[in-house]
Structure 1
């Protein structure tokens, strides 16, 4: 009978008494099954953590969480609790008498002595010159003093700086341009009285799918900045204050010792912006290299004003025009395939839905970009875009459909019920909360295909019973992944075995078992899986659904994978 000697008990046993181990030449472990079990039990008993322990410093029985770990101790914990250990370290580091730290803690009352905020762990603040302890601070305040090098002059300067910054406003209307434009006023030829410029889309190099640019956002720009903003932040402010801020900025950024602000003061005295703007109608599809806007000064004293506005116009209009132009391409694409597949474009205006707000650079950016999208679609979750349309374009959500959405869930909602209650989640949403109208349910939180093939079909009667609104629809919505792969499926993520590697099914199954065993070990190193593993693999162009049933050994309320035999 074939057998081998166990390295632990030294008994010669049959090979069946040993676990499989592919790393050994004979394919078996060096220890018999019984010795392996004994070793595992000893390891579990030795590593069993204690829940409480007596501190040798303060003589209190405390939970294990109050001790630092120490692998050299049988309990796996230090002899003294964290508080006692920290106290010893601090007293030794700063040469404090025993009990001094306790006095400081009592004085601080578990709160930072600067910001007065209560924190769990206070830092010891000391003088870096004398090493004398001054008190207890939170880590932020302690680091702050260190960064200021304990220098009271620096701290006073910081206070003055913060107080001054509260007075400063990021709204000086004459500082809303590229800095180099500020110097252009004196660079024009002498005797120049009028400057006439245009704003033109130049190229589709980076968006070749766009053949024409949608003209949009100009009215919003004029109302928001040239009227409202300048009225409030320039003409509505004190002239001397405006001029002083302007001179201060130029002195320390363009390094002009005595900046001239007379032109700013003259404009303030004039009381309005002496410019004339002409533009194409909004909604016009503009070929590239065709001007959309022209601008010219109407007062010879203010030739510098014309091109000063270029920066502001570009930063404001680029986003809504680009978004609208991209939305136009998508709308044309969706219309094309809607006609080819259904013969109608009904509903397409809601299919290109805007979820872009979270990816925008602030609320104003979201409003303008979302407004551009609304030119071609009415489905949106960007609320500021609808408000922008009402405020700047006289839209009225009470008399017309500007933009809209539907009740919808997200992963946090689906997760809150738990996977075991997923069907009941769908039933409650469909039947109790939204018995009519449209409701959109994110469905790939766990298993999209289980939702499509099991849960939704089981609720067919409840779905068909929803009535009372012009449209009664349950939307099964995916929230991630490639839409084409979600609809059509893909083999790119499935393990594939070729004929060259596996000439027959027997070899294929052996390789597949090794693959699934490695997959199980890597994904569940502590036996979290706890049962059979089902996996799809591809062999010779066909998909096989395989089930792997490993043996499991149970100790200390966990599962541990051992070699299959």
Structure 2
């Protein structure tokens, strides 16, 4: 039998130590750091030390402020506790967040939406102002000024009450205010004058035209190409 190193305390043998709270033998790496012992490890394992720390904090808080610490509910695996609504929900009910170690945000989706609306209202005065500032770099005031310059009409077709701010996708510069259809049409043609010119040529060659042959009298001219619809259609 080998000799026992009597310089070590009775609870330190072969790199192990018995926790004074739970009584389990654990590796020294499982104990909190402490400069009061030769091994630089404390008398309590990390789990027991955390329990003692929380109890000590709750005691000091109650003595100093006269109120108890709120106890967090038990959270099963794959779930998170949301203090805003006071519920435990699956992590799938939380938005994704890369910067968080869990991969999910701290607020569930309903709470996240409420906080987002409150932030937009507090900082920008509403979602509309937030959208204009973040997307185009202008506010509602600049929007109304540009709309007044257009006479309150769509810059392309002249329809009343346009709501869509058009901008150059390459430079980001605002060009004008359009209605939904005109703004979507430019986007579908990728803001290309060449494609739009080809579309005009195509329409002129395939669409029946109305020609003026006498004041107040028009004649429909057939397209230069295309084919009539089937009689069965």
* Structure with the largest fraction of strand: 2
TM-score by length of 2: 0.35
Structure of higher RCO (CA pairs closer than 8 Å, 6+ residues apart): 1
* Structure with the largest fraction of helix: 1
